Copies of this chain bind each other. A is one copy, B any other.
Amino acid sequence: MKKHLGGFCDLGFAKIDTDRINRRGFPEVVFAQGKTLTQLKEIARTFIVSNHPLILTRINQEQYKFLKKIYPKLKLNPLGKIAYLTKNNIKKIGNVLIITAGTSDIPIAEEAAVTLEIMGNNVTRLYDVGVAGVHRVLDKKELLRKANCIIVVAGMEGALASLVSGLVSSPVIGVPTSCGYGANFGGLSSLLTMLNSCSPGVVVVNIDNGFGAGYFASLVNKGQKG
């Protein structure tokens, strides 16, 4: 019962936004979490048939293996839980720096990193440089200054976003994570920290939303180079 009308493809349970690439410069990305295998199969086919790149975030092992059988070229970033089937030779431009406060924040950072790479951005990673040992990030000022845009991924108290922002002239995107326990309240502490940043130049996305940070950073980075 597929129908292509008015800029979307109607699968009944989903309306694939086939117009998005024209409107927004990048096709729809599929949020795999909670979708059935059958739903994913139908959605995937729609993208492939339309010749759109297929990107699935928050995919689990079972979902990935199922689709991998159908589309053997489907790739996976296991840390970032993103699967994708895109043209091979996309040219990467610019420079986005992704920083984490701790080791536990890396999966969310990788979600951002893969998103950026698929969208054609160069990515630099700087992991585990939280404020408990501030010399680690101060030691990398050169990296900080060379970035067009910086993503800071941090759980617990999330203080790193303000600190980094205070050192650079580029825009900083804060990603609070749910890493921590107790009065962390599932990422609330880090979220509030970043929202209340005393350093201008910081914006925030949802807790654990590496994809959203990567997507936004791509808009900023590519705009600067376009």
Contacts and interface: CB of A to CB of B under 8 A. Distances in A.
Q: Which of A33, A134, A183, A205 has the most CB of B within 10 A?
A: A183
A132 interface: yes
A157 B198 contact: yes
Contact of A158 (B165, B193, B206, B215): B193
A136 B17 contact: yes
A72 interface: no
A177 to B, nearest CB: 9
A209 interface: yes
B206 A196 contact: yes
Interface in A126-178: 127-136, 138-139, 148, 156-159, 162-163, 165-171, 173, 176, 178
A140 to B, nearest CB: 9
A152 to B, nearest CB: 12
Interface residues of A, number: 96
Interface string A185-216: 11111111111111111111111110110011
Interface stretch (A44-52, A60-68, A80-88, A100-108): A100-108
Contacts of A193: 157-159, 189, 192-193
Given A131-B166, A178-B182, A189-B196, 13 more contacts: A6-B139, A25-B169, A31-B104, A39-B103, A131-B199, A132-B200, A133-B166, A157-B193, A182-B195, A183-B191, A183-B206, A185-B192, A196-B206
